[in-house]
Chain A
């Protein structure tokens, strides 16, 4: 049987190479992974059901989309567009177009969220939740999916 040492190094053939998994995992990793996943699923389910989170999303998402559009219009369209046409232009852009733009843009979800001020609508405890690690992991697609999943109307 060919071993790795027998292989002529000047003519390496993948077929003659003995496959090996070089990656290892910490002890008992897979035994614990299942319970970790279950705990995370329960934690996120409880987080999404918080009234403060739902209220925040109802108010934040339209604000986010308008803000993103203003940035877009400000950078790319302001030189071309007379001020009196600006309102017409905003009303003509659909939410789907804005979401599609955000997907392709360099603006990260964190940057968008950083620019929203919740100070006027949130209490400190609710702000702590929104600033927690849980929200960092959620991208805009998931936020929109979650809005649909939990039947929240914007």
Chain B
């Protein structure tokens, strides 16, 4: 179902639940994978994904349509991820590298991870990036979103994103070349 139709049906009390179910079905996997790649742990990603859709349910009536619906939902998801990681550091008074180590350990310990050595090393190298840069890298490299789409989601200029992605790629290549 097209987003316009989803929005129209959501605003109608009689079809609101149906429209919401369709919206969840349409976007749940994309949102889950965005969050999973940021927080690594399946249970955390599950919680965040559900939080995203709860916020969508509560606020979709206020959505003005100045951006695409998927952009709006993605933005909620990225904000949830960044807030989650920020709270993790703040609550436990840990430094950036401690959170990075914790996430890296989750890659080693999780039952829900399956990859060859290089793929695992790549994921750990990505974890060395600052959160916002990591988010941009994930959206560009793994999700294959266009710069313009990422710009709308993150409210950043295309030029800044290109620079950020370029630096991220160079850093990761350097880490893996020396590993």
Contact = CB atoms under 8 A, between A and B. Distances in A.
A10 B142 CA distance: 23
A19 B142 contact: yes
A23 B58 CA distance: 30
Contact of B177 (A11, A24, A36, A40): A11
Contacts of B36: 23
Interface residues of A, number: 33
Contacts of A41: 20, 53-54, 57
B164 to A, nearest CB: 15
A44 B50 CA distance: 12
A40 B33 CA distance: 20
Contacts, number: 86
A137 B29 CA distance: 22
A83 interface: no
Contacts of B33: 21, 23
Interface string A1-13: 0001001011111
Contact of B37 (A13, A17, A23, A145): A23
Interface residues of B, number: 42
Interface of A: 4, 7, 9-14, 17, 19-26, 29-30, 33-34, 36-38, 40-41, 44, 106, 108, 137, 145-146, 149
Interface in B49-72: 49-51, 53-54, 57-58
A69 B90 CA distance: 21
B173 A14 contact: yes
B54 A40 contact: yes
Nearest to B28: A33
A23 B123 CA distance: 10
22 contacts: A9-B177, A10-B177, A11-B177, A12-B176, A12-B177, A14-B141, A14-B169, A17-B118, A20-B115, A20-B116, A22-B113, A22-B119, A22-B123, A23-B113, A24-B112, A30-B29, A36-B50, A37-B24, A37-B50, A37-B53, A40-B50, A149-B58
